[in-house]
Chain A
Amino acid sequence: MPTLRFHRVHVYAMLFVVTGAWLVVGISPRFPPDETTVLAFGVGRTAPKMALPVGRTLLAVGAYYVAAGLLGLAGRRFARLATGTMILGGLLIFPTVLVAAAAGKQTNVLTMLNESLRLGTPIALGAIAGIWCERSGVINIAIEGMMLAGACFGFTTFFFLGERLPTNQALFISVLVAVVTGGLMALLHGVLSITFRTDQIVSGTVINILAIGVTSFVRREYLLSTRAGRVTLPSIEIPFLSELPVVGSVLFNNKPIFYSMFILVALTHVILFYTRWGLRTRAVGEHPRAADTVGIDVIRVRYMNVFISGLIAGLGGAWFSLETVGGFDDLMTNGKGFIALAAMIFGKWTPLGGLGGAMLFGFSEALGTRFQILGIPLPSQFLQIVPYVVTMIVLAGLVGRAIPPAAIGQPYEKQS
Chain B
Amino acid sequence: MAWLHPGAAAQIQVTGDDAVNAQEPPALEVRGITKRFPGVLANDHIDLTLRRGEIHALLGENGAGKTTLMNIIYGLYRPDEGEIYVHGRRAEIHSPNDAIRLGIGMVHQHFMLVPTLTVTENIILGHEVTRGVLLDHRRARARIQKLSRQYGLLVDPDAYVQDISVGHQQRVEIIKALYRQAEILILDEPTAVLTPQEAEDLFAVMRSLASQGKSIIFITHKLKEVLAVADRISVLRAGRLVGTTTPAEADEASLAAMMVGREVVLSVAKAPAHPGEEVLRVENLRVLDDRGLPAVNGISLSVRAGEIVGIAGVQGNGQTELVEALTGLRRPETGRILVTGQDVTGKPPRLITETGTAHVPEDRQRNGMVAAYTVADNLVLNTYYKPPFARGLVRDEHQVAAFARRLVKAFDIRTPDIYAQAHTLSGGNQQKMIVAREFSRPISLLIASQPTRGIDVGAIEFIHQQIVGLRDQGVAVLLVSAELDEIMALSDRIAVMYRGELIAEMPAAEATREQLGLLMAGVRHEEEFVHKMGTTVPVEAEDG
Whether A associates with B in a native complex is: yes
Across the interface, do A294 and B96 meet the contact criterion of CB distance under 8 Å? Answer: yes
Query: Chain A: which residue is nearest B116 at the CB level?
Result: A286
Task: Determine, out of B128-136, B206-214, B218-226, B228-236, the stretch whose residues face the partner at the interface.
Answer: B128-136
- B76 and A415 contact, CB distance less than 8 A: yes
Contacts of A293 in B (CB 8 A): 74, 76, 96, 106, 108, 112
Residue of B nearest to A278 (CB): B135
Interface band, chain A: 20 to 34
- Chain A positions 277-293 with a Cβ under 8 Å from a chain B Cβ: 279-280, 282-283, 286-287, 289-293
Determine if B135 and A406 form an interchain contact, defined as CB atoms under 8 angstroms apart. no
Which residue of chain B has the shortest Cβ distance to A273 in the bound complex?
A: B135
Q: Are A295 and B134 in contact (CB under 8 A)?
A: no
Interface string of B73-84 (1 = CB under 8 A from A): 010111000000
A276 cross-chain contacts in B, Cβ below 8 A: 128, 130, 133, 135
Quote the shortest CB–CB distance from A151 to chain B (angstroms). 32
| A3-B117 contact given A293-B76, A295-B126, A415-B76, CB 8 Å threshold | no
Which B residues are in CB contact (< 8 Å) with A275? 130, 133-135
How many chain-B residues does the 8 Å CB contact rule pick out? 32
Residues in A whose Cβ lies below 8 Å from that of B124: 279
In the complex, which residue of chain A has the Cβ closest to the Cβ of B106?
A293
Question: Complex formed: what's the CA distance from A296 to B95 in Å?
Answer: 10
Known A3-B333, A294-B100; contact A279-B117, beta-carbon cutoff 8 A: yes
Q: How far, in angstroms, from A295 to B179 measured CA to CA in the complex?
A: 14
Contact B134–A289 (Cβ < 8 Å): no
A279 touches B96 (CB 8 A): no
Of A270, A289, A406, which contacts B112 at CB under 8 A? A289
Q: Which positions 395-416 of chain A face chain B at CB distance < 8 Å? A: 406, 415-416
State the Cβ distance, B229 to closest chain A Cβ, in Å. Answer: 24
Residue with the greatest number of chain B CB neighbours at <10 A, chosen from A2, A270, A279, A292: A279
Contacts of B97 in A (CB 8 A): 295
Other-chain residue from B74, B115, B130 in contact with A287 (beta carbon distance below 8 A):
B115
| B contact residues around A415 at 8 Å (CB) | 71, 76-77
The interface residues of chain A lying within 8 Å CB-to-CB of B108 are 293
Given contacts A282-B114, A283-B117, A295 and B135 within 8 Å (CB-CB): no
Return chain B residues, CB-CB under 8 Å to A294: 96, 100, 112, 125-127, 176, 180
Q: Is the CB of B135 within 8 A of A279?
A: yes
Task: Let me know if A286 and B125 touch, CB within 8 A.
Answer: no
Which residues of B lie under 8 Å from residue A289 when comparing CB positions?
A: 112
Q: Tell me the smallest distance from the CB of A400 to a CB of chain B, in Å.
A: 14
Query: Is residue B311 within 8 Å, beta carbon to beta carbon, of the partner chain?
Result: no
Question: Does A274 count as interface, using CB distance less than 8 angstroms?
Answer: yes
Partner of A296, one of B77, B113, B126, B135: B126
B121 at the interface (CB under 8 A from A): yes
Q: Are A287 and B112 in contact (CB under 8 A)?
A: yes
Which B residues touch A286, using CB under 8 A?
Answer: 114-117
Is B128 within 8 A of A282, CB to CB?
Answer: no
CA A293 to CA B96, docked complex, whole Å: 6
- Looking at A2, A286, A289, A293, which has the most chain B CB atoms within 10 Å of its CB? A293
Q: Give chain B interface residues in 324-351, CB to chain A under 8 Å.
A: 333
Q: Which residue of A270, A290, A295, A406 contacts B95 across the interface (Cβ within 8 Å)?
A: A295
Contacts of A291 in B (CB 8 A): 114, 125-126
CB distance B78 to A290 under 8 Å? no
Interfacial chain B residues near A274, Cβ < 8 Å: 134-135
Contact B78 A416 (CB under 8 A): yes
Give the complex CA separation of A303 and B163 in angstroms. 31
Q: Is the beta-carbon distance between A279 and B333 smaller than 8 angstroms?
A: no
* Contact status B112-A279, CB under 8 Å: no
Q: Which residues of A contact B78 (CB under 8 A)?
A: 416
Which residue of B is nearest A270, CB measured?
B134
Give the residues in chain B near A287, CB-CB below 8 Å.
Answer: 112-115
- B100: chain A residues at CB < 8 Å are 294-295
Once the chains bind, are A282 and B116 in contact (CB under 8 Å)?
A: yes
**Chain A residue nearest in CB terms to B133:** A275
* Contact (Cβ within 8 A) B128 A295: no
In A295-328, which residues have CB < 8 Å from any B CB? Answer: 295-296
Complex Cα gap A294–B112 (Å): 9
A289 to B114, CA, bound (A): 10
Residues of B contacting A416 in the complex (Cβ-Cβ under 8 angstroms): 77-78
Assembled-state Cα–Cα distance A215/B5 (Å): 74
> Cβ of A406: which chain B residues have Cβ within 8 Å of it?
115-116
Interface hits, B379-406 → A, CB 8 Å: none
Q: Which residue of B lies closest to A1 (CB)?
A: B334
Q: Which residue of A lies closest to B95 (CB)?
A: A295
- State the A residues within 8 Å of B (CB): 2-3, 270, 274-276, 279-280, 282-283, 286-287, 289-296, 406, 415-416
Closest 7 CB pairs of A and B: A294-B126, A295-B97, A290-B112, A276-B128, A287-B114, A293-B112, A286-B114
Q: List 26 A-B contacts (CB under 8 A).
A: A2-B333, A3-B333, A270-B134, A275-B130, A276-B128, A276-B133, A279-B124, A279-B125, A279-B135, A280-B125, A283-B114, A286-B116, A287-B113, A290-B114, A291-B125, A293-B106, A294-B96, A294-B112, A294-B125, A294-B180, A295-B95, A295-B96, A295-B100, A296-B126, A416-B77, A416-B78
Q: A282-B116, A294-B112 are in contact. List 5 more A-B contacts (CB 8 A).
A: A275-B134, A276-B135, A282-B117, A292-B76, A294-B125
